[in-house]
Amino acid sequence: MDELKNQNQNEDVNPEESIGHSDKYDANDIQVLEGLEPVRKRPGMYIGSTDEHGLHHLVTEVVDNSIDEALAGYCTQIDVVINFDGSCSVTDNGRGIPTGIIPKEGKSAVEVVLSKLHAGGKFGGEGYKISGGLHGVGVSCVNALSKYLKADVYQNGKHYKIEFSRGKVISPLEVVGNTDKRGTTITFLPDDEIFETTEFHFETMKNRFREIAFLNKGLVISLEDKREGQERKEVFEFKGGIVEFVDYLNHNRETLLSSPVYFNKFNRGENGEIDNEVEICFQFNDGYNEVINAYANNINTEEGGTHLEGFKSGLTKVINDYALTNKIIKENEKLSGEDCREGITAVISVKLKNPQFEGQTKTKLGNSEMRNIVYKAMTTEFGDYLDQHPVEAKNLILKSITAQRARDAARNARELTRRKSILENTTLPGKLADCSERDRKFCEIYIVEGDSAGGTAKTGRDRRFQAILPLRGKILNVEKARLNRVLENAEIKSMITAFGCGIGEEFNEDKLRYDKIICMTDADVDGAHIRILLLTFFFRFMRPLIEHGHVYAAKPPLYKVTKNKQDYYFYSDDELNAWYDQNGRTGITAQQRYKGLGEMNAEQLWDTTLDPEHRILIQLTLEDAVEAEKYFNELMGEDSELRRIFIEEHPELATDLDI
């Protein structure tokens, strides 16, 4: 130690070159964060962010505890309430957080669970065999990030209560009365010192709770908003479980099978206890899209994993084996997995001990044993189904064969496009006005409606980083078309070539040439229609563009008013009228209602819609894939009656459906 001390003293250190101009660094500089302080210091490490996503993650953490009680068989109802003051309460009828003293800690179990990281019944004890909150940090994190949190525990005929503020006890655990109730209520108010917003969104919470109710047959989940002017309540209970989930996703499609394929298999260990459960339901429809939602312990495994791999390979094997055995295809023929899955809607839900989550966002199941377990269940159950339903089996295989032919045609079309590009010695569409910058993170491309607006945009843009691609007319509605038809559309081919990242299975985000893809269409019904057609294409064939925040909608102004030689732009009738109320109408020399982008000159288009300093861009995100899938089906599918019903039920969205 002395040798190390002398070595440090002899080193030549220039204080002026060191950070903070000080060479003092000793034991006093080591900071130990006690209790929940690390969470408050670095909240993003624990909940991902401090925006509305992080805010709603708090609710998820609390509800996960109640779900684990349901998985253990002790909870049948969960009630979530957004209270008058903006706090949130989660009540379940489970066993209640234990209230006894933990000898080693000298504190009650409920206080330890709520005030210590990584304390709970999911870390090797016998409290939970299967739980869903393993990759979160638990309710203690919620406590740390809340202005106040109180827990009411009902067990053993007693009502217990404990209160915290920013993670610290302000009212110790005490018995406040007798009760016949059983369970726990957690009430918390997010800390406005931590979060960018503390306002809960009913719709965001509703979509997640509906999903949980589908996955847990018979569980009742209620959501109530008690805030003034926002009062509403919804209750979710699905006695059919994931069968109802598939029906919900598929409700506006013509189905191929008389009923969904459903099975539920339990696998037991050597001691006879259930080690894992596989529950699968799927149905085929007359569409062309593949919709598979996979879950592990109620967690949406958006990146897939071993359970999804087992499902896909089992499905492909069963269909090919049946087709060969019944001589629908020849010995040397084989249907690909994509061909077999065309038009499928499936929900895969597995429950297992000690799940391993991998991937970029920790939503990919890595347990290798689940691949074979799901594969064996699929080959057995689906094989039996096809044997018992020969007519439906044949129709399904004929659909797969048609899909294969269409995919071959699409492949040929892609190859022809590549060869043509090589021969013409160019890889970019002729009408694209590209930018000079080559680092994609600084580049953006405007998809512009029409040649007129395209010409103005090309003149008004900053050609260093802004590319312009004009589209002629409305692109194909890809919701109603197979890939081969999609690739025949000239405007779609131009976008694919310009973006550079490919589509479908060939999509590679690393090859994307622009960080921002901006839909710039007229502020009228036709413009909105073109925009939704573009979004449908991105959603179906380039979904990561939306998921990773590359897609935007430009918002051009509706009005220009000139007063005292000064131009003012307005984006809605309300904005315009509010300006009139404040400034009056005297001195106005011109007033214009823009019918389209082509009515602006290049300078006006730059000032209002192209200039990064002043433009309004709306980033289009995928908050809930299940609901997005449903709405794209309804709004862009074959059934016009569903569109009419949707608009009648959501009149407030009728003029802004794409956003």
Active site residues: 449, 522, 524, 526
DSSP of 456-512: HHHHHS-TTTEEEEEE-SPPP-GGG--HHHHTT-HHHHHHHHHH-S--GGG--GGG-
- Which residue in 273, 281, 204 sits closest to 238, CA to CA? 281
Sign of CA dihedral 582, 586, 588, 591: positive
Q: How far is CA 495 from the centre of its chain?
A: 25
Round to whole Å and give the CA distance between 54 and 46: 9
Question: 146 has which bridge partners?
Answer: 190
623 Cβ contact list (under 8 Å, min separation 6) = 204, 207
Q: Exposed/middle/buried for 372, CB within 10 Å: 0-12, 13-18, 19+?
A: middle
Round to whole Å and give the CA distance between 215 and 471: 43
Q: Which residues of 26-35 are buried (b: 16+ CB within 10 A; e: fewer)?
A: eeeeeeeeee
User: Which H, E and C letters describe 370-430, residue by residue?
Assistant: HHHHHHHHHHHHHHHHHHHCHHHHHHHHHHHHHHHHHHHHHHHHHHHHHHHHHHCCCCCCC
**Amino acid, single-letter form, for residue 420:** K
- Which residue in 592, 579, 495 sits closest to 542, CA to CA? 495
Structure tokens belonging to residue 583: 């400034």
Rounded (5°) CA angle 202-620-499 = 160
Rounded (5°) CA angle 394-294-286 = 30
DSSP of 306-351: HHHHHHHHHHHHHHHHHHHHTTSS-TT----HHHHHTTEEEEEEEE
Round to whole Å and give the CA distance between 110 and 513: 53
Instruction: Give me the phi and psi of 205, to 5 degrees please.
Output: -70, -40
Round to whole Å and give the CA distance between 611 and 596: 18
Instruction: Give me the phi and psi of 344, to 5 degrees please.
Output: -85, 145
Instruction: Give me the phi and psi of 553, to 5 degrees please.
Output: -120, 125
C-alpha distances out from residue 383 to 132, 255, 376, 596, Å: 31, 19, 10, 57
Q: Where are the alpha helices (DSSP H) in 48-176?
A: 52-71, 109-115, 139-144
Let me know: does 591 contact 577? Beta carbons within 8 Å. Answer: no
The counts of H helices and E strands in the chain are: 21, 25
